[in-house]
Structure 1
Amino acid sequence: MSGKFDFDSMGIGDLLKRGLLTVPANQRSYAWGEKQVRELLQDLNEAITNDDPDYFLGTVVLVMKDDGVPSIADGQQRIATTSIILARMRDLQTRLRRGPRAQAIENTYLREIDVDTEEHVPKLRMNIEDNEFYANDILQHHGLDQYNPKRTPEKIASNEKLKKASSLIVEFLDDVIKPLKPEQQSDYLNRWLKFIKERASVVVVTAPDEVGAYRMFETLNDRGLKASQADILKNFLFSKAPNRLNEAQSLWSAITGAIESLGDPDGSRLVTYIRHYWIVINGPTKERELAASVKIEISNESKALSFLKACADGVNTYVALWSSNHPYWSTHRPKTRNAVDTIAHHLQIEQIRPLMFAVALKFSVNEAEKAFRLFVSWSVRFLVFGGRGGMLDSQYSLRAAEIGDEKIKTAAALRTAMSRYVPTDPEFETAFATARVSRARLARYYLRAIENEMAGTEQPEMVPNEDVESVNLEHVVPLTPGDSWGLSDDEAEAVQKLIGNLALMQAGPNSQEGNGSFADKKKAYGASQFKTTSMIASFEKWDASSIRARQSELAKLAVGAWPLAFK
């Protein structure tokens, strides 16, 4: 290759017609479910029905290998699904006794003669898990009874997805042509064929190498983006370990299996995990920089295997950050587990994960407990005060790397390193006194933590997960205030989502007065078991000044609920 990218626009049918395409042997298997397949079929059908001049399917990224056969870096799902559509069109043409048309589809888009073996071989070669099933089952002729819901599913999940896609496609196409007269059905299928060949277009980008293909995803923003990035990283690492490929594959499977337990349909969490581990050992790394950085640092087989082993060793610790019930936390104290749940379930923030990961990998049990409590306080303070742009990502990543190379070994040292960036008590109190909250989840958590602070609870910021149906979050000034409030729309909007206007109410009869007046609601507030709510009843009226006065009191308590000092 010249090192440059080649671009070509064509129908996806013409891409299949050109000749052999391969899915790298160890790339992700077929993954489209019913939703994606049906969406493609419906989009094509609408475009064909409307006689649209073009339907853009996105970008296909290829990497030309030394043997001259293009390898699919991105676009496998669309290409494979299109080939199944063509195979089932061939079957329907056969059923309609249009043999020449069926044979033309077979020879032009599905198989070709291998001049060496004189055998018919698929124009699309799938990966290790899918290739045999695709060639020997999916490309074979099938009738409408191909998929019986009661049959035993295929043992390999991606094979089952291929078969379900095939069944859905043949049923969809049969429904499309069923209303037509028999003599019109074959012609309408032929109309589909011509559209797929010429007007269901893709932009084909041929990249000089895998890393070059990876960089393309930063600008293409196409379907399959994250999964393709994971595939390219995997293939690069495998290419560096040709003599220990089985070991590399085994380590990669361990990594992906653990990450998939979190739910990772598009591969995004896998890429994020690799980047977060890379941050711990190499410092701040943006996603667009990851491939180039990996290529520079991992230059031989030994480094590739060491990196894969380290990732495999650390992946269960990373997965544990989403649940305190993970076995990893069995040796940690309840305070640490409570912090894990608070960050995962109440705050649901991502920026701090590289730092959490580094602490979980490197700190002792005692120091991890202190650090994780700090993480809860820092996270709330940044949510209320503001993240200060890209500073937060950078500083969390820098601290993660300093922990990774053991420059920081204690929570106190970590707190000192972050002290100039984390909002101080006065800054946090001032910000909290005027803060608005749009997400009910966060509002509930803030008020429950402050409630705990008022009650003198040891860990006020560690709010247990509760049944949200048992506690209502109420806007004292309702979202749709009646005439009794005497507020203009602008006046109501200015105060409705201020923390001072939000209250917790135990669910049950008379727990919510809805859009009633303040006088109607006041008695229920005064009787509430929540102190942050009962304090509302001390106000004679409820207006902007009352809301701000209550919020100022809550802000003073917030400083204690999310402290910077170790308790």
Structure 2
Amino acid sequence: MTVNNELQHSVFLALSSIRFLNDLIEADIDKDDNIERRDILMRKFIGYKSPKSLMFSPKLKLNKLNDPIYSSYLIQFHKVPNLRREPISNRLLVEAYGYFYKKLQTEIFEEDGINGIIDFIEFVGDNLQFIQITVVDELNAYLVFETLNDRGIPLTVTDLFKNYLFSRVDEADHNHIKNKWDSILKYIKYKDFSNFLRYYWISRNKLITEKELFKAIKREVQTQDDVIEIISSLEVHAEVFNALSDPKDDLWKGHKDTIKYLSELQLFGIKQPFALLLAAYEKFDIATFTKVVKICSVISFRYTVISGFKTNVLEQVYSKAANNIISSKSVNAAQVYKDLSSLYVNDESFTSQFIMKSIKTTSKNRLVRYIVYNIENHLSDSGKTNFDDDTGTIEHILPENPSDVWNKTFVKDTQLEFIYRLGNYTILERKLNKQCENKLIGEKLSLYHKSKYTMSQEFDYEEWNPNKLKHRQSKMAKIAKQIWKLDY
């Protein structure tokens, strides 16, 4: 059974106190009394000293990776050689040890001296308790593990799931399960595993919350064969799930459009379609999978980025669509779109939302560039310019910090309402943008017309006020409707 974090913290708190006493002994400070205090604490919390080797034998045994550094160095108060070469978990043990030691020194000893240390050690000695529970097999170990979880500080879904799997297979198969678990963790960080598990689960089962997830798995995963099946399937899907959040992953190498649409989802901060995409990658060829990613991207842009609708219904729809793929009710992109059509914001609603949309360059400059460059590419005959690679800059027609002369066309109190409207953006070369600064629109026009960007070249507003801005944003909305469109 794995030692939990709370127990490790308690052990290191006691061990740090003992080490502090050991340092006082070496400094010949109240030596006899501190030797007695140290030995009492060591026997009570850490272990016993061998009469033969005079080394401490620990009560607590850690896993195979961590136990040597704990038993041979930390509880013996020896420095760990070549710490940088140790696995990260061992480095973290040493770090925790040092953290508590430093806290004792700075927050107790330096303020209250030796009496403060003695009071703290007495407090630890009176209040810190360890309970050892012996079980006869892995299944009973799991039952104890789960009971303690129900009555104490809740464990994560990941902890519960992992221990449950081991409780359901024969001991002879533990290494097999462990190898698959380790294989999964090559792609999925431990802290992200519960998200991965839930998205995987709802791709083939009804939507549930993370809180309900473990109970649902327990109902369905009962036998050793069930365990082998789910851990093997998770192993296969782990690489895909990881790659969904990383468009630069080698899994997408050579698939330009797939990278493009996954990059858009990443830019939008959208993960709700992941259950659907896991299912689509499993069942479809890469061309069909890419069409599904595009559907998710366009829907996300219309529904979330521009319209700002509530996201609480998204996972329900995506989960059902994923279930249909797994069960082969949906066998192509058109059928997937049909399942998602309730999320596709229609043209009328989309354009009305786009006309009023504001996105701040101060916090979402890359998203603004994405939108404006897409419109520029639609208008331009010079090919597609990548918004990430191009050196052009976003020009605020009404400046971000307008001078008082702008107050005649934009009332000062309303300026903030319009500065970050999409209709107030164009693209300019960096040099031209700098020359524009806070100039009025009449002075900016000649600079705009020198630009290579079509949006600026064709800018023909000789006045710039709220009505003109709204008119221009309305024209942009009609273009956006054509760019972010699905025809099925």
> What TM-score does the superposition give when structure 1 sets the normalisation length?
0.72
1:267-306 CA-partner distances (Å, limit 9, x unpaired) = 3321111111111221312111111111111112110111
Name the CA distance, whole Å, in 2 between partners of 1:135 and 1:441. 51
Q: Which has the higher contact order (CA 8 A, sep 6+)?
A: 1
1:460-486 CA-partner distances (Å, limit 9, x unpaired) = 7x956327xx33334333333221211
Name the CA distance, whole Å, in 2 between partners of 1:84 and 1:355. 49
Displacement of 1:239 after TM fit?
1.1
Indicate whether 1:428 and 2:350 are aligned.
yes
Indicate whether 1:410 and 2:335 are aligned.
no
Indicate whether 1:190 and 2:118 are aligned.
yes
**One-letter amino acid matched to 1:328:** L
CA contact (8 A) 1:93 1:101 kept: no
Name the CA distance, whole Å, in 2 between partners of 1:531 and 1:215. 63
CA contact (8 A) 2:41 2:125 kept: no
CA contact (8 A) 1:481 1:515 kept: yes
Displacement of 1:173 after TM fit?
4.7
**One-letter amino acid matched to 1:281:** R
Name the CA distance, whole Å, in 1 between partners of 2:394 and 2:122. 57
Q: Structure 2 matches for 1:26-45, cutoff 5 A?
A: none
User: CA, structure 1 residues 502+294, in 2 after alignment: closer, same or farther (shift >3 Å)?
Assistant: same
> Equivalent residue for 1:163?
94
> Equivalent residue for 1:103?
39
Q: Structure 2 matches for 1:361-510, cutoff 5 A?
A: 361-382=282-303, 383-438=305-360, 439-455=364-380, 463=386, 465-466=388-389, 470-486=391-407, 487-508=410-431, 510=433
**What are structure 1's unaligned runs of at least 5 residues?**
1-23, 26-70, 202-206, 261-266
Equivalent of 2:70 in 134, 148, 172: 134
User: CA, structure 1 residues 413+189, in 2 after alignment: closer, same or farther (shift >3 Å)?
Assistant: same
Name the CA distance, whole Å, in 2 between partners of 1:422 and 1:215. 42
Percentage of matched positions with identical amino acids: 21
Displacement of 1:216 after TM fit?
8.1
| SS of equivalent residue, structure 1 residue 477 | coil
Q: Structure 2 matches for 1:22-171, cutoff 5 A?
A: 24-25=1-2, 72=4, 75=6, 78-79=9-10, 81-95=12-26, 96=29, 97=31, 98-111=34-47, 122=58, 124-142=60-78, 146=79, 151=82, 153-170=84-101
> What TM-score does the superposition give when structure 2 sets the normalisation length?
0.83
Q: Structure 2 matches for 1:270-285, cutoff 5 A?
A: 270-285=193-208
> Equivalent residue for 2:183?
254
**What are structure 2's unaligned runs of at least 5 residues?**
130-141
Name the CA distance, whole Å, in 2 between partners of 1:534 and 1:198. 79
User: CA, structure 1 residues 303+208, in 2 after alignment: closer, same or farther (shift >3 Å)?
Assistant: closer
More helix by share: 2
Equivalent of 2:258 in 307, 315, 336: 336
Displacement of 1:530 after TM fit?
2.6
> Equivalent residue for 2:136?
none
User: CA, structure 1 residues 387+355, in 2 after alignment: closer, same or farther (shift >3 Å)?
Assistant: farther
**One-letter amino acid matched to 1:86:** S
Name the CA distance, whole Å, in 1 between partners of 2:442 and 2:165. 68
| SS of equivalent residue, structure 2 residue 394 | strand
CA contact (8 A) 1:86 1:109 kept: no
Name the CA distance, whole Å, in 1 between partners of 2:122 and 2:449. 73
CA contact (8 A) 1:283 1:400 kept: no
CA contact (8 A) 2:17 2:101 kept: no
- Return 273-282 or 447-456, whichever deviates more: 447-456
Displacement of 1:412 after TM fit?
0.6
| Aligned length, in residue pairs | 460
**One-letter amino acid matched to 1:140:** Q
Q: Structure 2 matches for 1:528-547, cutoff 5 A?
A: 528-535=451-458, 537-547=459-469
Displacement of 1:191 after TM fit?
4.4
Name the CA distance, whole Å, in 1 between partners of 2:299 and 2:252. 22
More strand by share: 1
Q: Compute the RMSD of aligned alpha carbons.
A: 3.4
> Equivalent residue for 1:321?
244
